[in-house]
Amino acid sequence: MSENQLMDWSALGFEYHPTDWNARCTSRNGVWGEVEWTQSEYMTMHISAGCLHYGLEIFEGLKAFRGVDGKIRLFRADENARRMISSAERLCLAAPSVEQFVDICAEVVRRNLRFVPPYESGASLYLRPLLIGTNPFLGVKPALESTFIVFASPVGPYFKGGIAPIDVVIDRGQDRAAPRGTGDVKVGGNYASSMLSGYQAHRSGYSNVLYLDAVERKYIEEFGAANFFAVRGNTYITPASGSVLPSVTNKSLRRLATDMGMTVEERRIPVEELSEFDEAAACGTAAVVAPIGKVIDLQTNKIYDFGNKVGPYSLKLFNTLQDIQYGRTEDPYGWTTVVEV
Ligand SMILES: *Cc1c(COP(=O)(O)O)cnc(C)c1O
């Protein structure tokens, strides 16, 4: 089958879809072995592996885009590699080097070329690198063996009908991450912390939970899987906090905002300040920018309403970043790597 007939690209959401090949590589006592390429979607591991009982698991998420010129580009894979290294340090796992990480990601794309969606679809190939502690033990201690896995799955655009506002809730009943905890590294455990509040929000018809700081519940932190930013006048404002995950998308948007002539502020944001913002949005690899329509504070019943519209700054930032990812404009920052095929 030709790649365009392979599947209904327009029907893709954000679900796991099998591809041809995935990579695994294991470090024992700090020494990495050879990369193993497999078509199996399964792995066997010891029932006492540290990832299964002590949460020794970290992951990344990045995308490969088929551009308007037919070239396939990885977006800032080196940033994901560096973040994986910092996550691994926090969990005492051996991490792949930046070069190993980027090379394996590029090769996963090459070996699954027929799953890289066509340009017109607005879809992309999502890469999921993960690192898990795999040797058996019971007494709590760092893992001596860590296994690095990279697989791919084609995913649809977050907004099928074009960028549109989402409604979110503030839930003061549950926290995502504590100061000096693991909020600033990409560990599966953070998703365990936010699972119930996120599920309850979804069940009530909301897209996401906006978490507040765990000490005073006074300052905005981030969403379960996306950073927060707001626009007031010509200023891009995003939380400064030791328990927010450093989003590659947010970092990129801050740079674009600066270069568009906006002022960028990274500071504490009291939740009441929401009423003073012109625009608010979630940002991350999945959606790039998801504008907020309403924020509903579940415990105080206060509603912050940004209107059922996409603000001009959010839209411009979204378009500028996607133009770089899809090769529609020059990439003056060197953020994209063309995957040679
Ligand atoms: C992955 C993640 C993000 C988004 O990061 P990007 O690098 O922009 O994809 C934001 N918040 C949390 C908690 C995350 O795990």
* pLDDT number for residue 2: 53
Q: What is the mean pLDDT of residues 285-310?
A: 96
Closest by CA to 279, choosing from 256, 307, 303, 251, is 307
Lowest mean pLDDT among 157-166, 274-283, 288-297: 157-166
What lies within 8 Å, CB to CB, of 108 at 6+ separation is 21, 22, 23, 127, 150, 151, 152
Cα of 190 vs centre of ligand 1, distance in Å, is: 11
Distance in angstroms (rounded) separating the CA atoms of residues 325 and 307: 29
Q: What are phi and psi of 128, to 5 degrees?
A: -120, 95
Q: What is the mean pLDDT of residues 305-314?
A: 96
Distance in angstroms (rounded) separating the CA atoms of residues 245 and 87: 10
Cα of 2 vs centre of ligand 1, distance in Å, is: 34
* pLDDT number for residue 140: 96
Instruction: Read off the pTM.
Output: 0.97
Cα of 156 vs centre of ligand 1, distance in Å, is: 18
Distance in angstroms (rounded) separating the CA atoms of residues 288 and 319: 9
Cα of 262 vs centre of ligand 1, distance in Å, is: 23
Q: What is the mean pLDDT of residues 169-188?
A: 97
* pLDDT number for residue 5: 63
Ligand 1, residues 59, 222, 227: which to mutate, most atoms within 8 A of Cβ?
227
Q: How far apart, in Å, do the first and last CA atoms of the chain sit?
A: 19
Residue whose CA lies nearest to ligand 1 atom number 15: 225
Residue whose CA lies nearest to ligand 1 atom number 10: 226
Q: Computed over its alpha carbons, how large is the radius of gyration of the chain? A: 20
Atom of ligand 1 nearest to the CA of 222: 11
Distance in angstroms (rounded) separating the CA atoms of residues 2 and 114: 8
Residue whose CA lies nearest to ligand 1 atom number 12: 225
Distance in angstroms (rounded) separating the CA atoms of residues 127 and 122: 16
Token pair, residue 247, equals 């989003």
Task: Determine which helix (DSSP H) or strand (DSSP E) holds 65, and give its type and residue range.
Answer: strand 62-66
Which residues belong to the active site?
186
**248-259 and 77-90 are packed helices; what angle lies between their axes, rounded to 10 degrees?**
130
Residue whose CA lies nearest to ligand 1 atom number 1: 225
pLDDT tens digit string along 253-271?
A: 999 999 999 999 999 999 9
What lies within 8 Å, CB to CB, of 262 at 6+ separation is 231, 234, 235, 236, 313
Whether residue 315 has pLDDT greater than 80: yes
Cα of 198 vs centre of ligand 1, distance in Å, is: 15
Token pair, residue 92, equals 């005492």
* pLDDT number for residue 160: 85
Closest by CA to 146, choosing from 91, 183, 189, is 91
Atom of ligand 1 nearest to the CA of 227: 10
Q: Using a 6 Å CB cutoff, which residues line ligand 1?
A: 61, 186, 190, 222, 225-227, 245, 247-250, 284-285
Instruction: Assign 155 to helix, strand or coil.
Output: strand
- For residues 288 and 279, the answer to whether their CB atoms sit within 8 Å is no
Beta strands in 78-212 (DSSP E): 124-133, 145-155, 166-170, 208-212
* pLDDT number for residue 6: 72
pLDDT tens digit string along 224-238?
A: 999 999 999 999 999
Instruction: Assign 158 to helix, strand or coil.
Output: coil
Beta strands in 134-241 (DSSP E): 145-155, 166-170, 208-212, 220-223, 227-232, 235-239
* pLDDT number for residue 242: 97
Instruction: Assign 90 to helix, strand or coil.
Output: helix
